[in-house]
């Protein structure tokens, strides 16, 4: 298997302006307009660029031609790829200026990385390094490298092997990664390093991180802005983990009556944190509401009031009368006496660093939330929690939807889908062109009937896709019927899985894909290795010990399973060990999945179908990629469309779509299309052979 090291640009500055995902997409687009002599002329660029989603609605072909002329382009001359990239950046810069800057989502999890300006906040780096030193300083493997020095590039250098990021994910959400699956050696070979980053990115998605525009090669290179962006998300997930009624039922004190509890459930964690902060500020007599973690806290007054009401025994009467810079120091001294780690400096308060201020307030909440211990209110909050199975399915669909890269970030499936807009976005992603956007209403929606109209269109499209929706109406979704919402989302996810698998095999077989096809493929794959185990169905109770699934993973890539770590799966404890290992090995292989070990142990039919389909998708994809490399060694790398063309191809979790050829491979060359620009998440797809495949697109992004 030949190795692939990414798209390399001779101009290092130019290389730094793009991720590997973007470069691979752009080079594919560039190569697509080569003439019969293998050349691209400057005159070919205007019709190419006007089709790119970044410029489609902003410029006409003549506008782009005029811009290129202003740069001194002679349209009869040949142009190379680097010149194309420079023209792209110039036009993108004009677009940004024309729009007056990008409008970022309020949710930190939705923040994506710009390709124009990659500034590194030294304060953030220092805070994240301090966090890592604190939480991972005693790790058996990492302690030989810690503590890190924030004044150097130690953080980025250590992140290049992937171990640090995997361990940090486990700190944020314990048990996400089975550490037996992490390659931990002092010196890793290229594919072991690539496996770690594949495991890291797929696991990051599984805890709710947005990894649009981040690929394995970016992490292997230790690109500072991408590494810090990912670490920032992981740390924030850790710090905000308790900001929900399930973990902290005392939060019910923030609402006046039971009618407001649903609103509290639907809020993203940072909004809950703001609500908590304002709750205490109001009690303290602070008159100005805090609506952000930047400008509203820059003078330090809100912090002084908050800390005084939470820990009056440590308060300094001089704090409120001090000047802003002195007040900031006194606030941090007060916080230090509360055992709060310093995520920020006085300068960060004065400058309104939103990330660090959010982390600081979250740490205060964690140390002392000041909420009631009223047993009646807590009991009420506990009654609001869902049963285990419903909660798991909600988690699965929430993470899956967010991995698709749609414009809206989902915090709570049952609340967020009720206006129909998110479901329309998902439908448009998995079945492009199915939504009539002229008949859709975008949030905020004040008129209730507009929500019903959106949901009626959702049901209508579902019926067109042959979903089972007997006696289901749009109003059922508006009313938040959990059973119907889960049933609809499962059919939507399953549709996407089968669609992707059908596309992979369409040229060679041209038939619809069914659950039975996935079952037969898995059994035949295991049988081909000489093993005798098989599964009768996705409800087969023998699957609970995990042995068949491990044999399947080993069948598609023998090196990925360490059989010395596998138990017989006879006791509950042994089954748990195997199930945990299966999830991490599948992600390490390249499958972007969201199921929990309990889903394997309890033989959850839906989740086992999606896991098996993910493994199948990855395996078939390798045959496609091997064929491409053998037929076109120069341009065989999968193209990642950062501009959303060819929207007839669907995506699942931002994964590959519109591919062909089955596991045995054929002589058909195909091009993978990935959507981006806030509409797809990019993940890596590891080759697990004798070379590295960067920017891997894993198996299907389903739970």
Alpha helix stretches (DSSP H) within 373-507: 375-383, 388-403, 413-416, 421-430, 448-464, 474-478, 482-505
Nearest to 181 by CA among 166, 191, 164: 166
Contacts of 341 (CB under 8 A, 6+ apart): 130, 131, 134, 363
pLDDT band (50, 70, 90) for residue 425: very high
DSSP readout, 341-377? Answer: ---S-HHHHHHT-HHHHHHHHHHHHHH-------HHH
Q: Which residue has the higher pLDDT, 652 or 12?
A: 12
Give the pLDDT of residue 70: 57
Q: CA-CA distance, 58 to 15, in Å (whole number)?
A: 25
Q: How many other C-beta atoms are found inside a 10 Å radius of the C-beta of residue 207?
A: 19
Answer yes or no: is pLDDT of 375 > 70: no
Q: What is the pLDDT of residues 258-282, one digit of tens each?
A: 667 777 877 889 999 999 999 999 9
Q: Which of 19-28, 153-162, 215-224 has the highest mean pLDDT?
A: 153-162
Nearest to 165 by CA among 75, 229, 91: 229
Percent of the chain with pLDDT over 90: 54
SS3 for 508? coil
Answer yes or no: is pLDDT of 514 > 50: yes
Q: CA-CA distance, 410 to 656, in Å (whole number)?
A: 22
Strands (DSSP E) along 216-312, which ranges? none
Contacts of 603 (CB under 8 A, 6+ apart): 538, 539, 540, 541, 543, 544
Q: CA-CA distance, 216 to 195, in Å (whole number)?
A: 9
Residue given tokens 């496609």 in the structure block:
624
Q: CA-CA distance, 219 to 686, in Å (whole number)?
A: 13
**Is residue 391 within 8 Å of 382, Cβ to Cβ?**
no
Q: CA-CA distance, 605 to 595, in Å (whole number)?
A: 11
Give the pLDDT of residue 671: 30
Phi, psi of 204 (to 5 degrees): -60, -40
Give the pLDDT of residue 48: 84
Nearest to 180 by CA among 662, 578, 610: 578
pLDDT band (50, 70, 90) for residue 10: low
Q: What is the pLDDT of residues 339-360, one digit of tens each?
A: 886 688 999 999 999 999 999 9
Answer yes or no: is pLDDT of 520 > 50: yes
Q: What is the pLDDT of residues 76-107, one digit of tens each?
A: 677 888 888 888 877 776 665 555 443 333 33
In sequence order, the β-bridge partners of residue 673 are 657
Strands (DSSP E) along 52-137, which ranges? none
Q: Which residue has the higher pLDDT, 329 or 693?
A: 329
Contacts of 67 (CB under 8 A, 6+ apart): 59, 90, 91, 94
Give the pLDDT of residue 274: 95
Q: Is 94 exposed, middle or buried (0-12, 13-18, 19+ CB in 10 A)?
A: middle
Q: What size, in residues, is the chain?
A: 703
Give the pLDDT of residue 615: 96
Give the pLDDT of residue 695: 35
Give the pLDDT of residue 676: 34
Q: Is 666 exposed, middle or buried (0-12, 13-18, 19+ CB in 10 A)?
A: middle
Nearest to 19 by CA among 700, 526, 694, 509: 694
Answer yes or no: is pLDDT of 689 > 60: no
Give the pLDDT of residue 380: 54
CA distances from 165 to 200, 203, 228, 588 (A): 6, 10, 11, 13
Mean of pLDDT over the chain: 81
């Amino acid at each position: 298997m030949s190795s692939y090291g990414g798209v390399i640009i001779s101009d290092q500055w130019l290389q730094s302006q793009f991720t590997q995902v973007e470069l691979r997409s752009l080079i594919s687009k560039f190569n697509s307009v080569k003439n019969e002599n293998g050349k691209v002329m400057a005159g070919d660029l205007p019709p190419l660029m006007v089709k790119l989603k970044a410029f489609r609605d902003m410029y006409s072909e003549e506008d782009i031609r005029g811009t290129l002329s202003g740069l001194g382009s002679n349209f009869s001359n040949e142009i190379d790829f680097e010149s194309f990239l420079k023209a792209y950046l110039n036009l993108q810069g004009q677009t940004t200026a024309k729009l007056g800057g990008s409008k970022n989502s309020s949710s930190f999890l939705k923040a994506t990385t710009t390709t124009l300006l990659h500034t590194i906040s030294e304060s953030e780096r220092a805070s994240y390094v301090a966090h890592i030193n604190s939480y991972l300083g005693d790790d058996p493997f990492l302690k030989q490298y810690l503590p890190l020095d924030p004044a150097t590039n130690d953080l980025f250098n250590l992140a290049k092997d992937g171990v640090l990021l995997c361990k940090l994910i486990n700190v944020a959400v314990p048990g996400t990664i089975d550490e037996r699956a992490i390659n931990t050696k002092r010196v890793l070979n290229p594919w072991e390093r690539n496996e770690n980053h594949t495991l890291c990115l797929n696991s990051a998605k599984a805890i709710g991180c947005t990894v649009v525009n981040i690929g394995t090669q970016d992490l292997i290179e230790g690109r500072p802005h991408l590494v810090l962006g990912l670490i920032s998300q992981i740390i924030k997930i850790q710090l905000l983990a308790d900001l929900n009624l399930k973990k902290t039922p005392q939060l019910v004190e923030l609402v006046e009556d039971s009618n407001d509890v649903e609103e509290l459930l639907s809020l993203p964690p940072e909004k809950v944190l703001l609500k908590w902060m304002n709750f205490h500020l109001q009690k303290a007599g602070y008159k100005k509401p805090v609506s952000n973690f930047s400008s509203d806290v820059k003078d330090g007054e809100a912090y002084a009031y908050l800390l005084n009401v939470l820990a009056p025994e440590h308060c300094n009467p001089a704090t409120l009368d001090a000047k802003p810079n002195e007040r900031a120091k006194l606030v941090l001294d007060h916080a230090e006496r509360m055992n709060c780690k310093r995520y920020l400096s006085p300068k960060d308060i004065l400058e309104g660093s939103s990330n660090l201020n959010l982390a600081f307030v979250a740490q205060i909440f964690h140390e002392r939330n000041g909420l009631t211990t009223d047993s009646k209110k807590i009991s009420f909050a506990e009654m609001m929690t869902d049963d285990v199975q419903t909660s798991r399915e909600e988690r699965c669909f929430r993470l899956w939807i967010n991995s698709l890269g749609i414009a809206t970030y989902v915090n709570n499936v049952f609340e967020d889908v009720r206006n129909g807009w998110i479901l329309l976005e998902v439908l448009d992603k998995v079945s492009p062109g199915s939504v009539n956007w002229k008949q859709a209403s975008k949030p905020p929606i004040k008129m209730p009937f507009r929500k019903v109209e959106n949901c009626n269109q959702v049901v209508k499209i579902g019926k067109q896709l042959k979903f089972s929706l007997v006696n289901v109406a749009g109003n059922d979704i508006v009313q938040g019927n959990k059973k119907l919402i889960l049933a609809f989302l499962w059919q939507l996810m399953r549709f996407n899985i089968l669609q992707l698998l059908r596309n992979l095999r369409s040229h060679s077989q041209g038939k619809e894909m069914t659950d039975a096809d996935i079952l037969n493929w898995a059994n035949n794959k295991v049988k081909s290795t000489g093993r005798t185990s098989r599964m009768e169905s996705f409800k087969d109770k023998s699957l609970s010990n995990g042995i068949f699934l491990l044999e399947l993973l080993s069948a598609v890539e023998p090196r990925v399973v360490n059989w010395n770590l596998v138990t017989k799966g006879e006791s509950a404890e042994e089954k748990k060990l195997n199930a945990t290992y299966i999830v991490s090995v599948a992600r390490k292989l390249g499958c972007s999945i969201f199921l929990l070990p309990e889903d394997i142990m309890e033989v959850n039919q839906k989740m086992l179908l999606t896991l098996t389909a993910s493994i199948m998708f990855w395996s078939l994809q390798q045959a496609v990629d091997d064929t491409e490399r053998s037929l076109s060694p120069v341009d065989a790398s999968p193209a990642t469309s950062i501009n959303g063309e060819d929207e007839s191809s669907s995506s699942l979790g931002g994964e590959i779509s519109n591919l062909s050829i089955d596991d045995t491979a054929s002589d058909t060359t195909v091009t993978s299309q990935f959507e981006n620009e806030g509409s797809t998440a990019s993940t890596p797809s590891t080759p697990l052979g004798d070379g590295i495949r960067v920017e891997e697109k894993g198996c299907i992004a389903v739970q």
